[in-house]
Chains A and B, each alone.
Chain A
Amino acid sequence: MTLAAKTIEEFKAEFKSVDISEVPYDKQGYHLSIESRTGNLLGIVNFLDRREFYIVDLFCVDYQDYLELVYFFNTHRELCRIKVTLKLDPEKPVAPTISNIYTIARWYEREVHEFFGVYFEGHPNLTYLFLHEEIDHYPLRKKHVPVPDGDKKLLNSFKPHEEENSFFINLGPQHPSTHGVLRVVLKMDGEYLISAEPVLGYLHRMHEKMAENKSYMQFLPNPARMDYPGALLFNLAYVETVEKLCGIEVPERAKYIRTITCELNRIASHLLWLGAFPADLGALTPFMYAFDDRENILDILEDVTGSRLTYCYFRFGGLYNDINEESFVDATKRFIERMRERLVMYDKLITGNVIFINRVKNIGILEQGQAKKYGFSGPVIRSTGIPFDMRRVEPYAAYGSIDFEIPTGHIGDNMDRYMVRMKEIEISLNIIEEGIKRLPSGPFKTEKVPKKLKPPKGDIYNAVESTRGETGVYIVSDESDTPYRMRWRVPSYSNLMTFPHLSRGVLIADAIATLGSYDIVVPEIDR
């Protein structure tokens, strides 16, 4: 019996009056749909919490007649995606908070609040997360809804108050080790952190709103701007979702090329991190070495995709162009050979260094139990020992037919996160090798994909494993040529939000090492 069938049985026994329905997974990307009411939402969330479901995403859709809060749940053991919806009155949207059950909801709810004006009863700190406090309307609502005057004071963003025996430091938005414009407000007692609060929004570009004003084709370059080091993977997440939504078939060759290029991009992204992480610890040389290797990948990908950083290579139903069999395969093979040698060198230079080991071992320990509360993913969750990888859980592109291992850590400290990523580089090399070996011939794109896509009415959630974790796209289509609502579930978001938890009471140097070990990309968090 699958988990979905089991859950539906148990659910029906516990909640008799609540609608639960099975959803065609192939079409919509989730298994169950539950329609809750304000009264029983907490009961349902508690029910899922007891069954070890983690929260994938929480967001809102404005259907004009009503606002719909959407909660996505899933488990780390077996794929069983559940959509819980809650209809709200657009005039007075109030919902109970679930932040005491799922910690990450604290931030998701703030986000929903600032974009839709939904109030969450019992939320500890319902302030703006991304937006500037002076914004006068709720941007993602379909109609112009002004922010009530009485609320503006409440919505003021995080402002620290000085207390005795402690002081505040603004780590960022301009700081050498926040990797972009992330601001973290640190409350400190000498060298020790009392608390840390990430303040986001410095790179907020409102991609989700942009999507509502562009056709499906026009939005293609945008995902690459969110996660710039792993652009192809975000590109893939978007393209796959739209393909599933419209029922477009992809030829086998395109699937393999997608896999190969994505893995190349994953290595490039990990190499970027491999340079930045030791730099956070004070070693500047690995940065140059890693960039030297990364340059090789950029050259290979430039040949194929035409750009070096913000790729937009995948098209609905295939690719922008075919690879050059000879030069691409040769260059990739040469790179794999070189990279394997270099990995040995990195092991000697970084992994074996006693100062490095002392700086990262047993620092920033994330327990397995936290995974459910925060919903973090990617190398961060694998470092805690949970072998959760979307490539395995929900195979897409050609990952289903390629065998690969999933590296896991033991205790979830910075060292484990480092080791997992290093191992992933190695495994990506194997996947590329395997992919090249099996690369089928044939067309690289489906003919007859209309320029103007008009997907059928409905919604879909689809996820890929980007370099930082589970990247999900949720699209609501209303049969027009633009998405009615597009929601991006980004991995760095939930990864970063464990930082306040991990940085309590640690030295500032350790906090920075931990922040570096997450490999966050700020444009992706801010969207």
Chain B
Amino acid sequence: MCDTINNIINIVGKEVVRTVIGLVGVFIVVLGNAIMLTWTERKVAGHIQRRIGPKEVGPFGLLQSFADSVKLLGKELLTPANVEKPLYYLAPTLIFVPVLVTFVVIPFDGFLQVKDINTGILVILAFSSLTVLSILIGGWGSDNKYSLIGAVRSVAQNIAYEIPLLLSLLPIIFMANSFSLRDVVEAQKGLWFVVYQPIAFLIFFIASVAETNRTPFDLPEAESELVAGFHTEYSGMRFSLFFLAEYTNMFIVSAIAVTFFLGGYQGPILPGVVWFFMKTYLLVFVLLWFRWTFPRVRFDQLLNFSWKILIPVSFLNLLVTGGILKL
């Protein structure tokens, strides 16, 4: 299939076509991933909790997510009385922008990449920080104290965890000598970077759990404290957009981790794209596993962990890497 797409692109040879095809592909991946992941999450949760999970709709309950989407589409879009309307409506839409943009630079295979930008990693980091903006807007616009607390928590959390996230990627950029994601993957032909940079990998993974607001760092939604956090007042499709974004974000952070540390699409025998997805979903599975095992950390513990442990350690890691490379 990769060859066919490649041929089409070669024949037409135009950036526009490539972009359009790419965007369609991105949409398919985003929606397919969200549908797959909701089912996987429920199945994994079920088995972790000694249940079977969904099994009624379709074989193994595979069509459960479709049934759920239909249900969510059919729900009334409630707008509470005192909401800040422009902000309230904007937030669920806005949360999808960074999600879609980051997909553009991820190399699924040697050729399967919408666009290889030579500052790819900067694009990802810049846009993924936008997610928090829409959470803030949604929480602020909802006119609900739980939402507001959730939104404010989210901002503090994202600022704290963006720094170790960036700092843990920098050593890789040193080693690959490029900001382009494809170059980073190509640089891992011999050995994966996780072997050279296990600490950076750990820090990146922990920080990305926090970035995606997953347990144990799910403070912005903290069910037992804030009811549903920033999306307390959202219902129907608006809620499901937040939901979709969360699952897509999980995929993205795992994909970036795979690209930077686990050799991206590289692997023997099987085509690259298969390797890529296998590795990514393995990491996604770990994220699910976390959620159904750990309790939630407290807010001050979360910030302390980042500022007092993750950031100093990642700085140290960066210094050591820089020093060794210079020698």
Measuring CB to CB, which residues of chain A are less than 8 angstroms from any residue of chain B? Answer: 167, 169, 175-177, 191, 278-285, 288-289, 292, 349, 353, 355-356, 358-359, 507-510, 512
Contact = CB atoms under 8 A, between A and B. Distances in A.
Interface string B227-250: 100000000000000000000000
Contact of A191 (B149, B215, B296): B149
Nearest to A279: B224
B296 A285 contact: no
B295 A512 contact: no
A358 B216 CA distance: 13
Contacts of A177: 224-225
A509 B49 contact: no
B300 interface: yes
Contact of B295 (A176, A283, A289, A508): A283
Interface in B134-166: 145-146, 149, 153
B260 to A, nearest CB: 27
Interface string B25-39: 000000000000000
Interface in B208-230: 215-216, 218, 222-225, 227
A204 to B, nearest CB: 24
A280 B224 CA distance: 5
Given A169-B145, A282-B218, A288-B51, A359 B299 contact: no
Nearest to B296: A282
Interface string B109-150: 000000000000000000000000000000000000110010
B65 to A, nearest CB: 20
A281 B225 CA distance: 9
A235 to B, nearest CB: 31
Given A175-B227, A358-B298, A509 B50 contact: no
Contacts of B215: 282-283
A282 B49 contact: no
Given A282-B216, A288-B49, A176 B227 contact: yes
Given A284-B292, A359-B298, 4 more contacts: A279-B224, A282-B224, A283-B294, A359-B296
A353 B227 contact: no
Contacts of A284: 49, 292
Contacts of B299: 191, 507, 509
Contacts of B4: none
B293 interface: yes
B308 to A, nearest CB: 14
Given A175-B227, A176-B223, A512-B224, A281 B295 contact: yes
21 contacts: A167-B145, A169-B145, A169-B146, A175-B227, A176-B227, A281-B224, A281-B296, A282-B216, A282-B295, A283-B294, A283-B296, A285-B48, A349-B293, A353-B294, A355-B216, A358-B297, A507-B300, A509-B225, A509-B296, A512-B224, A512-B225
Contact of B50 (A279, A282, A289, A353): A289
Contacts of A167: 145
B301 interface: yes
B146 A176 contact: no
Contacts of A507: 298-300
A285 B49 contact: yes
A38 B227 CA distance: 48
B297 A359 contact: yes
A384 B245 CA distance: 46
Which of A169, A288, A289 has the largest count of B CB atoms less than 10 A from its CB? Answer: A288
A292 B48 CA distance: 13
A181 B153 CA distance: 27
A355 B295 contact: yes
B294 to A, nearest CB: 5
B108 to A, nearest CB: 33
B224 A285 contact: no
Nearest to B49: A288
A289 B225 contact: no
B49 A289 contact: yes
Nearest to B156: A191
Contacts of A176: 223-224, 227
Contacts of A169: 145-146
A169 B232 CA distance: 14
* Top 3 A-B residue pairs of the complex, sorted by shortest distance between their CB atoms: A282-B296, A288-B49, A283-B295
B149 A285 contact: no
Nearest to A186: B145
Nearest to A512: B225
B292 A509 contact: no
Nearest to A276: B224
Nearest to B216: A355
Interface in B93-112: none
Contacts of A278: 295
A527 B215 CA distance: 37
B223 A282 contact: yes
Nearest to A283: B295
A248 to B, nearest CB: 45
